[in-house]
Structure 1
Amino acid sequence: MARPRFLLGREESERNSRADFLAPKSFGQVGRVNVTLSRKNDEIFIQDGDGQKKSTNGSKLDDEILPASAVPASFKRDRTILLSTVFSLTARHLLGEAPGGPPIDAQGQSLELGRTIAISTLTGAMRFLPVGELPMPVIAVWLFTDATLGSLPTCAVALRNTGLAETQARVH
């Protein structure tokens, strides 16, 4: 996902899910949207609920109860997000290897329009991994500029013991 906000919630069976990271529907206490993360300028913000209302069963970042209004949060290390009281996941900001994104193609850029290109210092991606055992592995990546896929544990999508190169691919 590459957009200004990222929603954590529960998979739904009767209608389309609203969240970007989906806890299995068997975790019924997790809300449709339990936590919202947003990107503003060069900071990451987190809040309980969907931005309009607080979640029914609450949420925490590490051991702190999340408020309904957005607060800045650092994810330079693994942080634990608890959805409701039943589903935990880790979140970490992984710095990009291509600061400012991929090189700009001068042919594709219309410079005569006088547009300013703003490059954020918030590079890389956020990786979300569930804590504990699930029937199938779930990895979600919130893309800022670039993310890697490979066998290294520092890759946004780390697939160990698969025969992949340390960095097999990079997504921009």
Structure 2
Amino acid sequence: MNKSLKQKEKWYWIVVAAIELVLFISSSMTYKQQTSVPFLERHLGSSKPMLGFFNQIGFNYGGKFQSIKNDGYYNFVEFFIRKGAHFGTYFLLGLFLCLALYTYFYKNNFLKIFVPWMAATGLAAFDEFHQGLTGGRSPLVADVILDSFGALVAILITVLVVFLIKKHNKKRHPFSMEY
């Protein structure tokens, strides 16, 4: 398994670089350039799916109370889309950082998790700083935490899956030295 990961390592680094490029471009855009509210208004119209459910939800995020009452339906839905994008993008970044770095730390389970997680968290902090330099955007520590959590979830899943694959392969090929 480590041999297979080593052979694909450059591709994992290319995906990491591509994700970072997308994040850099995204954080360079103003909120007005990036908002999905007009799209939601156009495509959801007045139907407002799940309005009753969303009306019951309210919580603090980044020092602001998020609710339909405070933000309006479309902005509230957009909030979930944007935060889902944060989590999902850093989930992918964590996954590919873990795979790219896996063979370097194959003997140390702590470092297999810690190094890619800290790298992703550092990149999240830099991305929020960069976003703060963009007009109409504000960096949030809460977003760095969300990004970091997304990366950690992916890294933990990746380490578990690789472990299970290695364990399965050892049972099938008990005398192989590749694993």
TM-score by length of 2: 0.24
TM-score by length of 1: 0.25
Q: Which has the higher contact order (CA 8 A, sep 6+)?
A: 2
The structure where helix makes up a greater share of residues is 2
Over alpha carbons, which structure has the higher Rg? 2
